């Protein structure tokens, strides 16, 4: 007589994502996730392979949300305005999901080749190509995304310790990396 399911992969990922933001990656335990979805820790292994796999599923979930947001924002008028809006939305998303952003962005987190990450790049590359031309599109896109990731990481990690106007620094940097 089969036991009825008490949870789902979706519930596990949602609870994991919430706990990730609430307590940070290091403090996220499978026993807490199991508690949150109403089962015991060993039962999680019917739906996830291991702890690393749970993080991967969480990042997939986050990336899907980010992709949908970026696709919606990318429909602007001229490419410069579109890129500004794209980067502002990207920054807002990171502020709303700081722990997930840190994971997504830190070295060795996501296995290379995720389809959603590639589609994020495509959105950016299309706008940058309009702005900078096909010849310079790739290095220009890499400049923009490197700057944005570094800026946001510094913001989230209290890296800007000298005070000053952080919003002005964002606008200033945006002007630099978009002036192709």
Partner DNA sequence: ACCTGAACACCGTTCAAGT
Query: 3-class DSSP state for residue 17?
Result: helix
72 binds, among DNA, a second copy, none (CB under 5 to 8 A by kind): none
Residues from 2 through 21 that contact DNA (CB under 7 A): 2-7
Site string for a second copy, 143-172 (x = CB under 8 A): x-xxxxxxx-xx-xxxxxxx-xx--xx--x
Return the residue matching tokens 């987190």.
109
Q: Which two tokens stand for residue 37?
A: 């979805």
What's the rounded Cα separation, in Å, for the pair 46 and 64? 23
User: Is the CB of residue 8 less than 8 Å from the CB of residue 47?
Assistant: yes
Least CB distance to a second copy at residue 125 (A):
8
Cα 80 versus chain centre, distance: 22
Q: Binding of a second copy at residue 133 (CB under 8 A)?
A: no
Cβ closest to a second copy, residue 14 vs residue 114: 114
Is the distance from CB of 64 to CB of 110 less than 8 angstroms?
no
Name the residues that contact a second copy, by CB under 8 A.
24, 98, 102, 105-109, 112-113, 117-118, 121, 136, 138-140, 142-143, 145-151, 153-154, 156-162, 164-165, 168-169, 172-173, 176-177, 179-180
């Amino acid at each position: 007589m089969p036991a009825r399911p008490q949870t789902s992969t979706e519930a596990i990922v949602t609870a994991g994502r919430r706990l990730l933001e609430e307590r940070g990656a290091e403090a996220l335990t499978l026993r807490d996730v199991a508690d949150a979805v109403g089962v015991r820790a060993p039962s999680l292994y019917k739906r996830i392979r291991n702890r690393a796999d749970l993080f991967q599923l969480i990042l997939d979930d986050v990336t899907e949300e980010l992709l949908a947001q970026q696709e919606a924002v990318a429909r602007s008028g001229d490419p410069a305005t579109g890129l500004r809006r794209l980067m502002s939305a990207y920054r807002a998303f990171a502020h709303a999901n700081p722990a997930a952003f840190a994971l997504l962005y830190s070295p060795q987190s996501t296995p290379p080749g995720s389809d959603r990450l590639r589609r994020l790049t495509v959105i950016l590359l299309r706008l940058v190509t309009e702005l900078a031309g096909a010849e310079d599109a790739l290095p220009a896109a890499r400049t923009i995304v490197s700057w944005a990731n570094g800026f946001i990481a510094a913001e989230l990690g209290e890296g800007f310790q000298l005070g000053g106007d952080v919003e002005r620094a964002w606008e200033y940097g945006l002007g630099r990396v978009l002036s192709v």
